[in-house]
A and B are shown apart, each in its own frame.
Chain A
Amino acid sequence: MRRLLFKSFVQGLLTEPAPTIDDRALAELAARVNQASHKRLGRALSIREVDAGSCNGCELEIHALNNVLYDLERFGLRFVASPRHADVLLVTGPVTANMREALERTYAATPDPKWVVATGDCARDGGVFAGSYACVGGVSQVLPVDLHIRGCPPSPVALLKGLLALLESVTAEGRRSA
């Protein structure tokens, strides 16, 4: 193990440079946040991931954000264990009827100000599961959605771009109101 630790020490950083911000996602978000007044937030944004019935593909890619190559936390974004610690709910899945109440309760447990990011094509409109008796079909049917990140599943880079857009917007807004 000493060898492994030494190698990790000398091999240099694996983490990659940040991607540029997705203009479309930023525009969508800017329009949404301009409508509402936001209180100032610190730079660190805490994210609570909620699987509302996904196939787990989105979860795999969200997980990948924490690996050494993407290293989400360097942007001041981190995943937290409780909605009570969260600023952002990152919601995946077509919102199954069986998860609706849990999603609503998670939202209610998240303190204001809060943002909802619907992640993946299912979260947008139900995706391939749209029209099923067992799915509500899209997060916006249940909660106010601030940003959609598309993809089936969205790649870590797509997720990163969307979340960065959110972060930039939130801090800009925060600075303005300060």
Chain B
Amino acid sequence: MASLNWPRSIVRREGWEHAAGRLQAGELALVGLWGEPRFAHMAVMERETNACAVLSVECDGNRYPSVGRVHPPAIRPERAVRDLLGLEPEGLPDARPWLRHGGAYQFLLAEGESLHQIPVGPVHAGIIEPGHFRFTANGETVVRLEERLGYTHKGVDSLMVGASTDRAAALAGRISGDSTVGFSLAFAQAIEAALEIEIPSRAVWLRGLLAELERLANHFGDIGAVCNDAAFAIMHAHFGLLRERVLRTADACFGHRLMMDRVVPGGLQCDLPPDGDRRVRALVAQVRKDFPELVEVYENTASLKDRTVGTGTLSPALAQQYAAGGFVGRASGRNFDARCTPGYAPYDSMKFEVPVVHAGDVNARVWVRIREVEQSLALIEQILAQLPTGSICAPIATRPDTGVREGAALVEGFRGDIFAWTRVGSDGRVERCHLRDPSWFQWPLLEAAIEGNIVADFPLCNKSFNCSYSGHDL
């Protein structure tokens, strides 16, 4: 049985190609593309109505019509599906592997006078995840950047097959550690949609609290890191302190600094302790005191703004085409936030704004984060004010009579919308689960944003995107 919020239909090749055409025309947004033996799936959202759907096409002879052929955002997902399942996207212009490594990799050519290449990674100079960047530069100016990812590929989709919901939840929480709450929430909502479980209202509200704390911690880290990459270390120090305060509050309230494994199918693994309300309020008060002063420093330091304004500009057209989520999309005019569209509780009972700017540069992505911090603080206060009492977890009953069930969910992690799709067998085990990190549709845009910038501004651009390697590589 397919999920109600994301109905799945098995379409013929013509139907699949029709959807690809609508993606190309910009009528649909690509939410995800994945596969299983014999079937390719894609999740789409209609731009006008926000209607969501999952389409599946049977792959006769392990082949299906390529979507990436007409809609570039599907190229990397299709290359990944080919690597993982051997399903061949007919007409895909890129024959190279993506997640499967081994053997020589043919980087795209950039030819011309005085061009040179700079290979970077997979082991980078800083404490960051592994990936390879191939720059072609003319002097200081980047002519082309090509990413090669997949170094952190752990085979998560395959580990999900046959896993108990507990084990699958643990895996979901470790797809991208910085977004552990977001992924756990997406997975839990998908399971709850599949099994039609209604979770206690206290759990719904506390999940919102965890998600907003995670957003705060990451935004603080990112803003500080962007300033640090512009050689403005004092901001990095101050934002590092703010981030640490959030993590310590999370640890004191939920027993884990990153709040890993706290959101589980059915609700929450632990309740807010008696002194939790006071601790979170103290955190909010502290941030409200310190944050504006730091924002003022950011805004009024010419040498810092000189590095961020006009650097790494992403055009609104590309953000729209790739349906880029999070601050990447919202800094380039794409007004989308999964907390509003399709929306989920408790956000439907709260007042908040979705900040959108149009400049599309590093500065814009910093400002979206700054504004989101302010919104998250207000959301946390609303959650504490309205937090219902009661239990925090509903039992996950396996109902053998209902057979195989499917569910999907779209939630807003700090980085953007995380999509989850799962099928649960009649024995209660996960038959299939695919979790799509927002980075899938942000990484390709970084290649576009860096073009024409100087090599030395790449760390700034990269940090302002802050895509996940692990979330993407699965």
Q: A residues near B, CB below 8 A?
A: 1, 3-5, 8, 14, 49-64, 66-69, 79, 81-83, 93-94, 96-99, 102, 106, 127-129, 131-135, 152-153, 155
Q: Contact between A79 and B127 (Cβ–Cβ < 8 Å)? A: yes
CA distance A3 to B177 in the complex (A): 36
Q: Contact between B176 and A67 (Cβ–Cβ < 8 Å)? A: no
Judged by DSSP, the binding face of A is mixed
Complex contacts, A102 vs chain B, CB 8 Å? 122-123, 130, 151
Q: Mark B99-120, 1 if CB is under 8 A from A, else 0.
A: 1010000000000000000000
Given A56-B176, A64-B244, A66-B240 in contact, is the A98-B127 Cβ separation under 8 Å?
no
Given A58-B177, A67-B241 in contact, is the A51-B152 Cβ separation under 8 Å?
yes
CA distance A133 to B176 in the complex (A): 19
Residue of chain A at shortest CB distance from B167: A128
Q: Contact between B257 and A98 (Cβ–Cβ < 8 Å)? A: no
A-B contact pairs, 13 of them (CB 8 A): A4-B297, A51-B129, A53-B154, A56-B469, A60-B178, A60-B258, A66-B240, A67-B240, A69-B241, A93-B152, A99-B130, A132-B155, A132-B159
B461 to chain A, nearest CB (A): 19
Q: Contact between A14 and B241 (Cβ–Cβ < 8 Å)? A: yes
Q: Contact between A155 and B130 (Cβ–Cβ < 8 Å)? A: no
Q: Contact between A133 and B127 (Cβ–Cβ < 8 Å)? A: no
Q: Contact between A99 and B152 (Cβ–Cβ < 8 Å)? A: yes
Q: Mark B223-252, 1 if CB is under 8 A from A, else 0.
A: 000000000001001101101100100010
Residue of chain B at shortest CB distance from A106: B123
Given A49-B127, A102-B130 in contact, is the A153-B234 Cβ separation under 8 Å?
no
Among candidates B128, B158, B234, residue contacting A59 with C-beta atoms closer than 8 Å:
B128
Residue of chain B at shortest CB distance from A99: B151
Q: Contact between B127 and A68 (Cβ–Cβ < 8 Å)? A: no
Given A67-B237, A128-B171 in contact, is the A57-B129 Cβ separation under 8 Å?
no
Q: Contact between B468 and A56 (Cβ–Cβ < 8 Å)? A: yes
B390: interface (CB < 8 Å): no
Q: Contact between A61 and B257 (Cβ–Cβ < 8 Å)? A: yes
Residue of chain B at shortest CB distance from A52: B130
Complex contacts, A55 vs chain B, CB 8 Å? 174-177, 180, 470
B260: interface (CB < 8 Å): yes
B231 to chain A, nearest CB (A): 15
CA distance A79 to B153 in the complex (A): 25
B125: interface (CB < 8 Å): yes
B402: interface (CB < 8 Å): no
Nearest 8 interchain pairs by C-beta: A57-B177, A134-B155, A67-B240, A81-B125, A132-B155, A55-B177, A55-B174, A98-B101
Q: Contact between A97 and B234 (Cβ–Cβ < 8 Å)? A: no
Complex contacts, A96 vs chain B, CB 8 Å? 151-154
Q: Contact between B129 and A54 (Cβ–Cβ < 8 Å)? A: yes
Q: Contact between A68 and B241 (Cβ–Cβ < 8 Å)? A: yes
B61: interface (CB < 8 Å): no
B173 to chain A, nearest CB (A): 9
Complex contacts, B243 vs chain A, CB 8 Å? 64, 67
Complex contacts, A14 vs chain B, CB 8 Å? 241
B303 to chain A, nearest CB (A): 11
B150: interface (CB < 8 Å): yes
Contacts A58-B177, A102-B151, A128-B167 aside, 13 further interface pairs with beta carbons under 8 A come to A51-B128, A55-B176, A55-B470, A56-B176, A56-B178, A62-B127, A64-B243, A68-B240, A96-B152, A97-B153, A102-B130, A133-B155, A133-B158
CA distance A83 to B124 in the complex (A): 10
Given A60-B258, A97-B101 in contact, is the A53-B240 Cβ separation under 8 Å?
no
B301: interface (CB < 8 Å): yes
CA distance A72 to B178 in the complex (A): 22
Q: Contact between A63 and B127 (Cβ–Cβ < 8 Å)? A: yes
B126: interface (CB < 8 Å): yes
Residue of chain A at shortest CB distance from B257: A155
Complex contacts, A56 vs chain B, CB 8 Å? 129, 176-178, 468-470
Complex contacts, B401 vs chain A, CB 8 Å? none
Complex contacts, A153 vs chain B, CB 8 Å? 177, 258
Given A54-B129, A68-B240, A81-B125 in contact, is the A134-B154 Cβ separation under 8 Å?
yes
Complex contacts, B125 vs chain A, CB 8 Å? 81-82
Complex contacts, A93 vs chain B, CB 8 Å? 152
Complex contacts, A94 vs chain B, CB 8 Å? 154
Q: Contact between B177 and A54 (Cβ–Cβ < 8 Å)? A: yes
